[in-house]
Structure 1
């Protein structure tokens, strides 16, 4: 059973790897021609954000099982939970900003939401990088 949960945990982490690319992809939105091009690209990013959120839930639950079967420092467990919850919260906020930007199919509302999407995606990318680093070195604490 441990191998199944480890597989789910790693699969979730691989799917969340999108958050490392999200800051660069969000920066590309403004380089596209306004209108349908930006709308379509942002719609894809919105769908990938949903996949990342699902992967976050899978990793969180499978990680809870794995932590229960192992011996990890309490500081490491608290940091892992805080980082994953922060990624979940910020990805939800980015999803709302994307949804607001996609409210008009002509793409006219994208420009007003793009700054916050880019900023939040950068923070999510940094938090995910810190999470991966923390997961790789659990016994440093």
Structure 2
């Protein structure tokens, strides 16, 4: 059972790897021609954000089981949970901003939201990087 959940945990982490590329992809939205090009690209980023959120839930649940089967420090467990919750919160806010930007099919709402989308994508990318670092080096905490 542990091996199956470890597989799901790693698979979820791989699926969330999109968050490392998201700041660069969000910056690319501005470089595209306004209108349908930006709308289509942001629509893909919105769908990938949803996949990342699903992967986050899978990793969180499988990680909870894996932590119960091993001994980790309390600090490491608290950091892990806080980072997972922070990624969930920021990616949820990011999804809301994307949904607002995509509310008009002509792409006219993107210009007003792209600044916050870029900022939030950078924050979620940094949080994911910190999460991977904390997961890789649990003995430091």
TM class, shorter-length = over 0.9
Render the CA deviation track for 1:108-138: whole Å, top value 9, x for unaligned. 0000000000000001000000000000000
Aligned to 2:31: 31
What is the distance in 2 between the residues matched to 1:140 and 1:82? 17
Aligned to 2:61: 61
Where does structure 2 lack aligned partners over 5 or more consecutive residues? none
What is the distance in 2 between the residues matched to 1:100 and 1:130? 28
What's the RMSD between the two structures over aligned residues? 0.3
What is the distance in 1 between the residues matched to 2:37 and 2:23? 18
What is the distance in 2 between the residues matched to 1:9 and 1:100? 31
Alignment: residue pair count: 141
What is the distance in 2 between the residues matched to 1:133 and 1:9? 15
Aligned to 1:102: 102
**TM-score of the pair, normalised by structure 1:** 1.00
Aligned to 1:133: 133
What is the distance in 1 between the residues matched to 2:94 and 2:115? 11
What is the distance in 2 between the residues matched to 1:91 and 1:129? 14
Where does structure 1 lack aligned partners over 5 or more consecutive residues? none
What is the distance in 1 between the residues matched to 2:10 and 2:39? 32
Aligned to 2:71: 71
Runs of 4+ off more than 3 Å: none
**TM-score of the pair, normalised by structure 2:** 1.00
What is the distance in 1 between the residues matched to 2:23 and 2:123? 8
